[in-house]
Structure 1
Amino acid sequence: MNVSNFSCNNTNDGQIREYQHRIYAVFYTVILVPGLIGNVLALWVFYAYIKETKKAVIFMINLAIADLLQVLSLPLRVYYYLNNSWPFGSLACMLCFYVKYVNMYASIYFLACISVRRCHLIIQPLHYGGSKRRRDRSWCLVGWFVVCLGCLPFPLLRKNGNATCCFSELPMMQLSKELGVSLVTFAEIAGFLLPLAVVVICTWLTAASLREKTCVLQDTGEKHKAFKMVLSCATVFLVCFVPYHITFPLDFLTKSNGNVSPAFKLAVLHAHPITLCLASLNCCLDPVMYYFTTDEFKRRLSRPELQESLHLHLRGSRSTDRDARSQSDE
């Protein structure tokens, strides 16, 4: 199947391109600052508490790193969609394009891992120790490797023949019908449906544990906190990733030589940018989830502790400056 050249220089698609650029430019500008501040704060908080708690903090750190990577690429995206031109070279284009999908599927993976860890801590609270913490780190490394490897087809299947074109407007390479369908099916099942099933099952198991008369944990408040965390993961999952993975195969179909009506193609080309923006919204929703479901996050950002941390930081900076001045005087 020959995938059509949905080129940014195709005048027949000028109105669609203008609509998509406007949607992307506005949305990415809106989420840039909140996403940057929220994820930097998240990394600062979780790094301080990584040795004090066992509540999936390792997975949250990796989720914040994935979100931060996407946020750091947004200024270049905003520039492109505002100026309709990409002057930064093909390598930067492919890297930003690749990071977008790495963030999406890494976020999906780590949301599923957070749900599993919190559910496991509720069902078997005494079975978490140093070996499990090391296992969490191993799962993070495995996840990054699989996600980075699995997302390589997104940039590799694009032809970068136009220096001013970038991202999804780059024409795709020619694919057979069987290969195209296989790639889309694999991405949908492995990258979305399996993690979705994991999150739904963990949400159901955690909710079921709240209805038990006798439970392993004496503190029922801990179960409610775990349920809030797992439910928040499910909510982020449903809001950000379900719409995109509904339009993803449809977008592939419309950009191929499939027999689709012009009205259907137009509807998909209008809807898909919105669902792609929703998939990017997770970089802002994840820090909100941390704040409302994690005691450590709230405590670290509370006014007394925040002031104490800033005071200690300033005092440390002053002592360092005094030491440097005394050494220079000598």
Structure 2
Amino acid sequence: MDSHNASSSGGNTSYPSVNCSYNMTAWNEGMYGLYTYFYLIIFIPGLLGNSVALWVLCRFIRKKTKAIIFMINLAVADLAHVLSLPLRIYYYSTHTWPFGKGLCLFCFYLKYLNMYASIAFLVCISLQRCIFLMHPFCAKSWKRRYDVRISVVVWIVVGLCCSPFILMRTNSDSAKTSGCFKDLPTRKLGLGTAITIMTFGELLGFVTPLTIIGFSSYFIIRSLQESVRAGHSVNDKKRALRMVLVCTGVFLFCFAPYHINFLLYMMVSQDLITQCTVKQVILQFHPISLCVASVNCCLNPLIYYFLTTEFQQQLSRQGSSVLRGRLMSLESTSSYKE
């Protein structure tokens, strides 16, 4: 969550109840700067990377197997979040939001939709590569429409599961405040509700996906070792292992900090953690973990390029065509002048 739970004095920003005597105003201004510069840094790479990836994946890869459908959905999720970044940058740089509460909540929702859709599709990619490697006949009989149906289910489930992030920010104070994102007021949760959300979010959003990706890596490594001992070709298995390991790396780097801190953050919000220094560290690490989670929209295109042979070939082919067209245009212009 982008903000904290109990209202602080002197502003719209809300925080978990903190009795510590450190400067919350200075810290709040620092968060505005952190979000502004960080989103500026990732906007261009995220926009270009995912736009090119989506263009290549949708237009030039006709054989949509080997998790290509899941990669397309992953690129869509990333691009949706990236396109909302200019509004976030505007708010954090000007401290004003003139675009209405509906658009504010929608952009707020997109951040978490992107995070958990990315997690879900990384799991789908890893699991499918593992299953197809272990059961080649299953890969041959697999239909593209199956991936499409799975993707639709993923979007519906993730969309519904992320809806509490909006519901928790639509209380009676929401219409009174002119703030957005981290400055949106938050509903006060009971202890039972907080524990339920915390458990549900951590198990389904982090522990279960990490377990699935971990087992996928283990089975591929074991299959690779058996093939090496038997003297069989291992190129496909090496590529599959590389794909799953990179998915694991992106997952851990981007989402582990947020989910570890989210657990502690909810404990602070419910006053289960009372030590002042610990509270301060958890609260100050929260925006950093959210920024790190947003890096996934820049890292995911690397999965498509470095780990998908078809993507490399099509991108190189199209790049060469564009370059040849440009050179021919220059030659024609030169000849005309002569």
- Name the TM-score, length of structure 2 as normaliser: 0.85
**For the residues of structure 2 that align with 1:219 and 1:213, how far apart are their CA atoms?**
7
Which residue number in structure 1 is paired with residue 221 of structure 2? 207
**Count of residues paired in the alignment:** 312
Which residue number in structure 2 is paired with residue 269 of structure 1? 283
The Cα of 1:83 is off from its aligned counterpart by 1.2
| Aligned counterpart for 2:306 among listed residues 292, 297, 316 | 292
Whichever residue aligns with residue 264 of structure 1, its letter is V
1:71-150 aligned within 5 A: 71-129=82-140, 131-150=142-161
Aligned: 1:166 with 2:180:
yes
Question: Percent of pairs identical after alignment?
Answer: 43
Q: 1:6 to 1:113 in 2, by over 3 A?
A: farther
Contact kept in structure 2, 1:90 and 1:163, CA below 8 Å: no
**For the residues of structure 2 that align with 1:215 and 1:131, how far apart are their CA atoms?**
29
Which residue number in structure 2 is paired with residue 322 of structure 1? none
Which residue number in structure 2 is paired with residue 36 of structure 1? 47
Whichever residue aligns with residue 291 of structure 1, its letter is Y
Mean Cα deviation higher: 126-135 or 234-243: 126-135
Which residue number in structure 2 is paired with residue 9 of structure 1? 12
Aligned: 1:243 with 2:254:
no
Which residue number in structure 1 is paired with residue 20 of structure 2? none
Contact kept in structure 1, 2:12 and 2:185, CA below 8 Å: no
The Cα of 1:105 is off from its aligned counterpart by 0.3
Q: 1:218 to 1:37 in 2, by over 3 A?
A: farther
Contact kept in structure 2, 1:240 and 1:282, CA below 8 Å: yes
Aligned: 1:307 with 2:324:
no
Which residue number in structure 2 is paired with residue 176 of structure 1? 190
Q: Give RMSD over aligned pairs.
A: 2.5
The Cα of 1:218 is off from its aligned counterpart by 5.8
The Cα of 1:309 is off from its aligned counterpart by 6.0
Mean Cα deviation higher: 76-85 or 11-20: 11-20
The Cα of 1:149 is off from its aligned counterpart by 0.2
Whichever residue aligns with residue 45 of structure 1, its letter is V
Whichever residue aligns with residue 99 of structure 1, its letter is L
Q: Give unpaired runs (5+ residues) of structure 1.
A: 316-330
The Cα of 1:130 is off from its aligned counterpart by 6.0
Partner SS for 2:236:
helix
- The superposition leaves residues 177-197 of structure 1 with CA deviations (integer Å, 9 ceiling, x where unpaired) of 101110111011011111111
The Cα of 1:299 is off from its aligned counterpart by 1.1
Mean Cα deviation higher: 183-192 or 247-256: 247-256
Whichever residue aligns with residue 280 of structure 1, its letter is S
- The superposition leaves residues 36-58 of structure 1 with CA deviations (integer Å, 9 ceiling, x where unpaired) of 01001111111135432521000
**For the residues of structure 2 that align with 1:203 and 1:35, how far apart are their CA atoms?**
27
Aligned: 1:222 with 2:233:
no
Contact kept in structure 2, 1:28 and 1:78, CA below 8 Å: yes
Whichever residue aligns with residue 292 of structure 1, its letter is F
Mean Cα deviation higher: 141-150 or 117-126: 117-126
Partner SS for 1:172:
coil
The Cα of 1:144 is off from its aligned counterpart by 0.2
- The superposition leaves residues 25-72 of structure 1 with CA deviations (integer Å, 9 ceiling, x where unpaired) of 111110000000100111111113543252100000000000001000
- The superposition leaves residues 269-288 of structure 1 with CA deviations (integer Å, 9 ceiling, x where unpaired) of 21111111111000000001
Q: 1:211 to 1:259 in 2, by over 3 A?
A: closer
Mean Cα deviation higher: 258-267 or 134-143: 258-267
Q: 1:128 to 1:92 in 2, by over 3 A?
A: same
Q: 1:108 to 1:10 in 2, by over 3 A?
A: closer
Whichever residue aligns with residue 307 of structure 1, its letter is S
| Aligned counterpart for 1:198 among listed residues 207, 212, 230 | 212
The Cα of 1:9 is off from its aligned counterpart by 3.2
- The superposition leaves residues 199-241 of structure 1 with CA deviations (integer Å, 9 ceiling, x where unpaired) of 1111111111110137999642121111111111000000000
Contact kept in structure 2, 1:6 and 1:170, CA below 8 Å: no
Contact kept in structure 2, 1:89 and 1:163, CA below 8 Å: no
The Cα of 1:85 is off from its aligned counterpart by 1.9
Mean Cα deviation higher: 208-217 or 189-198: 208-217
Contact kept in structure 1, 2:5 and 2:269, CA below 8 Å: yes
